[in-house]
Structure formats: structure tokens, C-alpha cells
Amino acid sequence: MISIAAHTTILPASRFLNPGLPNERLEPAEYENTTKLLMVITGFLNDTRSNQKEKADGKMNLVLLHQNENPQACIDESIAYVKEIVEMNRKEFLKHVLMDGFVDLPKPCKNLHLSCMRVFQMFFKIVSQKPVSFSCGICPNDRK
């Protein structure tokens, strides 16, 4: 499963929101489709921004796999391809969380999933706009 640990945040929080949620719904094999879509979206969003680092580390992600399968494609085309997949999954995800009767997940859990996706989208948007520095300024390597 593709994930950046979205499920480790969302599933316990869903339990607090709805104590009546059956335990089986929180087991990995029984994830709601809504949670699976959240994991796919966040994982692929991560792939669109981390492909150079993962390539240097010898790891694969969907952007790099697309580029390997389509050698004529440039990196921007591969990123655009993955973003299309993200958009398709995002639309499906929104059906799950916004349409009544589409899934049997309680409304507070749907809202939690939606909020989590928004947080990840904001994070990836901020990270892709400018470099984020986590230096404290105290460590010798942080000083310039």
C-alpha cells in the first residue's frame, strides 16, 4: 500500500470521534476505501516532489516508474502524469466524503479524512513552493 503514514493518524483519530466504530474497520486488511484513497493521494503527492531524492537514493516511486516505462518522457511529463492520477483519486475521495449514502463511514470520520487530506495538500504545496529549512542556528553545521 502506498502511504506516508496517513492511516496511522486517521484511524486512531476516527476511533476517538466514533467509539462505536467496529474494531474490524481499523485493521489494515479492512481499511475503508476512503482511507485507502487518502493514503494513495498523499503517497503520490509525495512522489511528485521527492522523485530526485529517491532517484539519488536508488529508490523508486511512481514518477520514476513512469519515466522508466516512457523513456521519451521528461521528468515534468512524468510528474504531470502522476498529478493526473492524484486528481482522479481526489475526485473519487471527494465522492466518498461529501456524498451522503456513498459509504457507510460516519460523518465525523468523513470530515476527519477530508481535513487530513487538506492538511497534506497544504503541506505539499508549501514544500514545493520554497525550500524549507529546519536548521536551529545553534549547531555548527547550521552556521554559515
pLDDT digits (tens, 9 = 90+) for 75-105: 999 999 999 999 999 999 999 888 888 777 7
Work out the mean pLDDT of the chain and round it to a whole number. Answer: 79
Which of 47-61, 72-86, 128-142 shows the highest mean pLDDT?
A: 72-86
| pTM as predicted | 0.73
User: Given this model, what pLDDT does residue 89 score?
Assistant: 95
User: Given this model, what pLDDT does residue 1 score?
Assistant: 38
pLDDT digits (tens, 9 = 90+) for 97-113: 888 887 777 888 888 88
- In 3-state terms, what secondary structure has residue 135? coil
Q: Which fold has domain 6-129?
A: Farnesyl Diphosphate Synthase (1.10.600)
